[in-house]
Amino acid sequence: MSPVVGSAFFLFYLLALCNASGADIALDAKATLLHRIDSLNLLIYTCLLTLTVLTIWVFKHRRVSWLHETGLAVIYGLIVGAIIRYASSTNQVTYIDAHPAPDTKYNLSVPPDILRFRFPDKIQISSGDTVPNKTYAYSFRGEIVNLEQNEIDLKATFDPEIFFNIILPPIIFHAGYCLKRKYFFRNLGAILTFAMVGTALSALVIGALMYGFVQLMPASLASSFTFLDTLYFGALISPTDPLTVLAIFSQLKVDVNLYAMIFGESVLNDAVALVLSGAIQNYEKRYSVDGGFEITAFLAAIGDFIGIFSLSLLVGALLGCFTALMTKFTHVRDWPLLESALFVLMSYAAFLIAEVFELTGVVAVLFCGICQAHYTYNNLSSDSRNRTKQLFELLNFLAENFIFTYIGVSMFTFPKHHFDPWFIIAGFLTSTLGRAVNIYPLSFLLNLGRKPPIPMNFQHMLFFSGLRGAMSFALAIRNTVSEARQAMLTTTSLIVIATVVLQGGAATHALAYLRIPTGQGQNDENEALPYRDVRSLYQATDSGRPETPRSGEAGEKARLARLWGALDSRLLKPLLTHARPPLTETLPGFLSPLARILTTTRQYTQADNSLRRTDSDSDLCLDEPQPVPTSIDPQQLWPGLVDTRISVEGITGSNI
């Protein structure tokens, strides 16, 4: 070690020559402090989530069903939020009023991105130190509406845009990826009606009623709400989030069609509400430019809604199909890690592309998830199927519990709450009424045309499942500029907390009271779980085997579903996956050169129905009978690597 000792002396000498610049120490300490506060905030949520996980385990272990994990997360959040608010010391933010330099040249009507601030300039620093004048950069954050509310709090709060860009995308993607498409398409009419028409209707009714309520309130408050404000409230409070109820459904094996309706609606109405609220805001902008109400602005808002929704859908679907093509025509399957990375990157790209083109990333991600499950999933190696399922399941679990914890904590720590008892009461009443207006009249209309009508107790259950959740909260916290918006946030938070804890807790009783049959068939139930773990995934793949021809059920389907089914089974599936029949059989003759290019050897050579079985939504293909396969050599279908590995896994796994 002699070189070390020698160098140490040399080091001493050099350090003595050294002339480091000083004076930034206080600033550095400040940056460190801010970083520590950030870390502490994250640590609080990490501990809360850990606590939630452990408690859920105890609950599951003791078979407690009256409190779901999200309810638990909210309650823990509330407790810790109260502690943070009332027990911890405040970390006061320092601020200075600043003005532009006298001879500033600036031509835009919007404030600049960056201020270059001379400090201390002419301020007398009373601490006595001589602080050298330096220039600091300050970046734009937002408008300060209420100058008296000085305290911009550093306590356990995050930028609301985090929800739309980080927390919601995995949740929504997971919902699309795990959507049980078989039952979803079987109930497509009802789901679309409830989600599209119903949500718009509910938003409208809630908006109008709230506007009426607000007019009855004290004048000071009434004047701060415009009709667009209350309509916005209607849009944000309309999407449902019946996680708690669905968890109980899958526990008790409730009818899969009811499950599919409630889950499908909740997935879609999140997307609808998000686009709807965006359209309302755009309307607000156009309207205020024109200076008066115009039919064109209203039509533009409707056009906005339809355009943004369908373009976002398109972006998501295209990216999903593109991934399917890539996984079909390359052998990237041989390297599962690359394949999974490709899958994740493409799905995230769907979100980003939509955002870049000012569409709605969350909607794109939803439909990307559906396409990934419907097409790409069939091309993936079994390792990647596993990995992607498990990855998004875990992300979804963490994101969901985080958002509910945050709802609880922010109830106490978010500085921009505005408690207005009248508005809160009105909010509870109208949101219940809005749900009723969504379900009962539309069920009545649907039952006019529906073969097996939706029975009354199912309708009540649909009404009961109108819990509010993540999307409502994220929309409410996005904009808290005015007092009206702050009152909306408070009301939304309370509605979410109340419905998740109380309605969620009462779900088992509601099922019993409404005499909804539970304990349905093993296979069906497993396929419909959004929270299924790997076991159910395999059982689902497994359960494909005893599936006999379903041609008898075809009569039930609507014409639209039939048309889509034919297109899907004859064009899209053979194009995007290795499914039979190949395009060479389904496309018209003059396209056969193209068809030959787009058909893989596997599609030609494999036994006719060998792959169909593993396809989880096989009943979309309506027209051909599906003979039960007799015996297939696995080696023949998936040559080499993949199979060997899985067998090894299975064997060693069971020896552990």
For 329, the token pair is 């025509």
User: CB under 8 Å to 48, separation ≥6 — which residues?
Assistant: 73, 76, 77, 80, 405, 409
User: Which of 226, 447, 518, 586 contacts its own copies by CB under 8 A?
Assistant: 226
Which among 43, 44, 21, 40 has a CA at the least distance from the CA of 32? 40
Q: Does the footprint of its own copies cover residue 166 (CB under 8 A)?
A: no
> Which residue from 227, 329, 513, 604 is in contact with its own copies, where contact means CB under 8 A?
227
Task: Look up residue 533 and give its amino acid.
Answer: D
CA distance 182 to 574: 18
With binding defined as CB under 8 A, does residue 614 bind its own copies?
Answer: yes
- Within residues 297-326, the interface with its own copies by CB under 8 A covers 298, 326
Residue 39 lies near its own copies (rule: CB under 8 A): yes
Is residue 336 within the footprint of its own copies (CB under 8 A)? yes
CA gap 236, 484 in Å, rounded: 14
604 binding its own copies? (CB under 8 A) = no
What stretch of H or E contains 307? helix 295-329
Looking at the Cβ atoms of 445 and 594, the one nearer to its own copies is 445
Is residue 423 within 8 A of residue 492, CB to CB? The reply is: no
Residues 6+ apart with CB under 8 A from 235: 203, 207, 273, 276, 277, 280, 475
Candidates 50-58, 171-179, 456-464, 616-624 — which segment interacts with its own copies by CB under 8 A?
A: 50-58
Among 17, 87, 216, 219, indicate the residue that binds its own copies (CB under 8 A): 17
Q: Are 324 and 339 in contact (CB under 8 A)?
A: no
Q: Could you tell me which of 393, 395, 319, 406 has the C-alpha nearest to residue 355?
A: 319
Q: Measured in Å, how far apart are the chain's first and last C-alpha atoms?
A: 47
Amino acid letter for position 185: F
Q: Is 340 in the site for its own copies (CB under 8 A)?
A: yes
Q: Is the Cβ of residue 509 or residue 545 nearer to its own copies in the bound state?
A: 545
Binding pattern to its own copies, positions 536-555, x when CB under 8 A? --xx-xx-------------
Q: Binding of its own copies at residue 35 (CB under 8 A)?
A: yes
- Nearer to its own copies among residue 523 and residue 586 (C-beta): 523
Choices 256-264, 349-357, 489-497, 569-577 (CB under 8 A): range interacting with its own copies: 349-357
With CB under 8 A as the contact rule, the residue among 64, 83, 88, 123 that binds its own copies is: 123
Which parts of 456-475 interact with its own copies (CB under 8 A)? none
CA-to-CA separations, 2 to 9, 157, 537, in angstroms, rounded = 11, 53, 62
- Site membership for its own copies, residue 564 (CB under 8 A): no
The reply to whether 104 sits near its own copies by the rule CB under 8 A is: yes
Please select the residue that binds its own copies; options are 284, 483, 547, 624, rule is CB under 8 A: 284
**Of 109 and 605, CB closest to its own copies:** 109
**62 or 515: CB nearest its own copies:** 62
**Candidate ranges 251-259, 304-312, 339-347, 508-516; the one touching its own copies (CB under 8 A):** 339-347
Q: Is 448 in the site for its own copies (CB under 8 A)?
A: no
Find the shortest distance in angstroms from Cβ 592 to its own copies: 29
In whole angstroms, give the CA distance from residue 51 to residue 43: 12
Q: Does 586 bind its own copies (CB under 8 A)?
A: no
Three-state DSSP class for residue 94: coil
Rounded distance between C-alpha atoms, residue 643 and residue 637, angstroms:
9
Give 89 or 126: the residue with its C-beta nearer to its own copies. 126
Rank residues 293 and 590 by Cβ distance to its own copies and give the closer one: 293
Of the residues 5, 86, 89, 114, which one makes contact with its own copies according to CB under 8 A: 114
Q: Is 531 in the site for its own copies (CB under 8 A)?
A: yes
Element (H, E) at 539: helix 534-543
Distance, in Å, from the CA atom of 194 to the CA atom of 448, rounded to the nearest integer, reads: 15
Size of the site for its own copies (CB under 8 A): 173
Give whichever of 47 and 502 is closer to its own copies, judged by the CB atom: 47
DSSP string, 357-385: TTS-HHHHHHHHHHHIIIIIHHHS-HHHH
**Is 562 an interacting residue with respect to its own copies (CB under 8 A)?**
no
* 381-440: contacts with its own copies (CB under 8 A): 382-383, 386-387, 390-391, 393-394, 397-398, 437
Please list, in sequence order, all residues whose beta carbon lies within 8 angstroms of the beta carbon of residue 290, skipping any fewer than 6 positions away: 297
Sole residue written with tokens 């097996």: 452
For position 97 contacting its own copies by CB under 8 A, the verdict is yes
Cross-strand partners of 119: 134
